Structure 1
Amino acid sequence: MNIRQLQFLVALSQEKHFARAAAVCNISQPTLSSRIRQLEEELGVPIVERDKRYIGLTVEGTRVLEWAKRILADCEFLEQELSELKGGLSGRLTIGVIPSALPVVSLLTSPFCVAHPGVKVTVLSRSSVEIQRQLQDFEIEIGLTYVENEPLKHVKTLPLYQEHYILVTATDGPLAGRETVSWQDVSAIPLCLLTTDMQNRRIVDQAFRQANCEVSPQVEANSITALYSHVRFGRWSSVLPQAYSAMVGLGDSLEAIPITAPSVSHSVGLIASDRDPPSPLASAIMAETAKLDLTDLLSTV
């Protein structure tokens, strides 16, 4: 058994197709099939269910896949740690970020990249559930997500700031010009909101329920940019994180009004797997971010 065989197995599980997995691995399909069969012979168990095409993994194959991901992650962590000992971290840091925190992530990645110029960063928009799953599957090193609202398992956390909520609406809209609005006020106007698989939407729905009102938005999207576009060019308003207007700005045609009665806030921060040894890249961005006061930064933007 060798590292390449494990890489082939992980690619096959992700692509669910022999030819596509072979293309990802830059090898021929017969070579990939042969190396997977060789792995099955070495371990003495069937790993892949086959017919004329890929069907899935066997029970044994699922367990082998879990171990393969751990082993490959440990190999990557070892390479990162050795690069740091040689003179500086290198590699690629992949961050999963909930849509509501995407405008904020540059406040973390910018100082990290200055401190670690040899590291490349990939930012992915993900739901909070996807972030947890991808941490467990070693597909990302770190997540920027809610840290208190819904249960988190097998992670360490670094709370960074409180997410507050605003109504983003046209300057000539029915609620324009107010200093604050209530959740009941907001429920009475046409809305576009994030999709229900997003924790932000579940938070917003809970706030409406606490105010004894329900909403049924005509437009839903899993992107805050899409919501902003609908508010700017359509007849809708939206409930967005206050950090969005602070970081991105709204232009002259829109305004942001704080939502109160009740006042709602939730903690957003970094999460990383609590496994030992930890990912050197995850530990590095945790350390750099711990030096920041994001609450102060967001208030001065």
Structure 2
Amino acid sequence: MIDKLEMFLALARERHFGRAAESCGVTQPTLSSAIKQLEDQLGVQLVFRGSRFQGLTPEGLRVVDWARRIVADMRGLKDEMRAVRSGLTGVLRIGVIPTALPMVADLTLPFTERHPHVRISVLSRTSAEILTGIEALELDAGITYLDNEPLGRVTQVPLYAEHYRLLCAPGTALAARAQVTWAEVAGVPLCLLTADMQNRRIVNQHLAEAGAVVAPSVESNSTIVLVSHVLSGRWASVVPKKLADLFTVGGRLVALPIVAPEAAHLVGLIAAHREPHTPILAALLEAARKAVD
């Protein structure tokens, strides 16, 4: 039953029989047969069938919720028994908003020192993708904003407050200033993260409160792209302090505190609100709490 539910969840995620079979490491006929057997066991049709995948039935959509809970509990049980037998092992998948990537090592370093047999996969994701990934069991945890947009029912551990800097090249218009206001930021050519990023929505909010609306000529979902454009001297960008600190060493770039107001937003670790957590996830949450002690 568990294997069939895993395959059903893969089909619900991929919405394509071939891709779902590939993600499960089975042939397409094997996956199709498993879904049909699951339908027979539950006594309902789960998938609209045709020459290709046509969606889930209403019953199928309901079964997705049950399947996620059952599969998550089974994975947790297996992890706990494996931990009892041989200590913490396995892979921990963490989705991280791009602006928080510079601080991930502050968490993963002490964790891996304590649990050397756990492999960590750090994946850059938007805040929305992190929530979706945790719900769909594709991510074990996420590092995202805690106080700006609804998170739903999740376990939270605050890590740090994100403060903002205008990142610019030496010799540009504002580079010699000690600090700048949000209104002044709006007056320089900007390259910013794309609108699907929560950081961009935060920046837009503070600029709007200063009476400005900005249409940047360059947008990207990569902070490296933003920094490369700032290095040209033609653009500036608004980035978190922790990110700015990486690129101001040696004086290649300048980072100016943004005030009026000096905004701060809380970033932290989140995980599905499930008790008990798997041993690996419980250990990660403990490491996060110790990181801010």
Band the TM-score falls in, shorter-chain normalisation: over 0.9
Contact 2:169-2:233 within 8 A present in 1 as well: no
Amino acid at match of 2:105: S
Q: 1:47-104: per-residue Cα shift (whole Å, max 9, x none)?
A: 1111111111111111112222221111111122112222411111111111110111
Q: Which residue of 2 aligns with 1:283?
A: 282
CA distance in 1, matches of 2:45, 2:58: 9
Alignment of 1:152-167 (within 5 A): 152-167=151-166
What is the alpha-carbon root mean square deviation over aligned residues? 1.6
Contact 1:103-1:248 within 8 A present in 2 as well: no
Question: What SS does the aligned partner of 1:104 have?
Answer: helix
CA distance in 2, matches of 1:60, 1:162: 43
CA distance in 2, matches of 1:117, 1:260: 42
CA distance in 2, matches of 1:247, 1:186: 21
Q: Which residue of 1 aligns with 2:115?
A: 116
Question: What SS does the aligned partner of 1:157 have?
Answer: strand
CA distance in 1, matches of 2:20, 2:152: 31
Change (3 A) 1:254 1:248: closer
Change (3 A) 1:192 1:186: same
Contact 2:189-2:217 within 8 A present in 1 as well: yes
CA distance in 2, matches of 1:248, 1:139: 32
Contact 1:104-1:247 within 8 A present in 2 as well: no
Q: Which residue of 1 aligns with 2:251?
A: 252
Amino acid at match of 1:275: R
Q: Which residue of 1 aligns with 2:144?
A: 145
Amino acid at match of 1:218: S
Q: Which residue of 1 aligns with 2:13?
A: 14
Q: Which residue of 1 aligns with 2:62?
A: 63
CA distance in 2, matches of 1:176, 1:226: 20
Normalised by the length of structure 1, the TM-score is 0.92
CA distance in 1, matches of 2:19, 2:8: 12
Structure 1: state its 5+ residue gaps: 295-301
The alpha-carbon deviation at position 36 of structure 1 amounts to 1.1
More displaced 10-residue stretch of structure 1: 60-69 or 243-252: 243-252
Contact 2:248-2:255 within 8 A present in 1 as well: no
The alpha-carbon deviation at position 247 of structure 1 amounts to 4.1
Structure 2: state its 5+ residue gaps: none
Q: 1:121-153: per-residue Cα shift (whole Å, max 9, x none)?
A: 111111112212222222211111111122221
Contact 1:141-1:279 within 8 A present in 2 as well: no
The alpha-carbon deviation at position 22 of structure 1 amounts to 2.0
Contact 1:171-1:255 within 8 A present in 2 as well: yes
The alpha-carbon deviation at position 25 of structure 1 amounts to 2.4
CA distance in 2, matches of 1:20, 1:293: 41
Contact 1:70-1:138 within 8 A present in 2 as well: no
Aligned positions, number:
293
Change (3 A) 1:118 1:248: farther
Change (3 A) 1:276 1:293: closer
Q: 2:94 matched to 1:95?
A: yes
Normalised by the length of structure 2, the TM-score is 0.95
The alpha-carbon deviation at position 26 of structure 1 amounts to 2.6
Q: Which residue of 1 aligns with 2:216?
A: 217
Q: Which residue of 2 aligns with 1:268?
A: 267
More displaced 10-residue stretch of structure 1: 21-30 or 146-155: 21-30
Q: Which residue of 2 aligns with 1:84?
A: 83
Q: 1:99-125: per-residue Cα shift (whole Å, max 9, x none)?
A: 110111111011101111111111111
Amino acid at match of 1:149: N
Question: What SS does the aligned partner of 1:55 have?
Answer: coil
Percent identical: 48
More displaced 10-residue stretch of structure 1: 83-92 or 156-165: 83-92
The alpha-carbon deviation at position 248 of structure 1 amounts to 5.2
Contact 2:172-2:233 within 8 A present in 1 as well: no
Q: Which residue of 2 aligns with 1:126?
A: 125
The alpha-carbon deviation at position 10 of structure 1 amounts to 1.6
CA distance in 1, matches of 2:91, 2:270: 17
Alignment of 1:32-43 (within 5 A): 32-43=31-42
Q: Which residue of 2 aligns with 1:299?
A: none
Alignment of 1:192-211 (within 5 A): 192-211=191-210
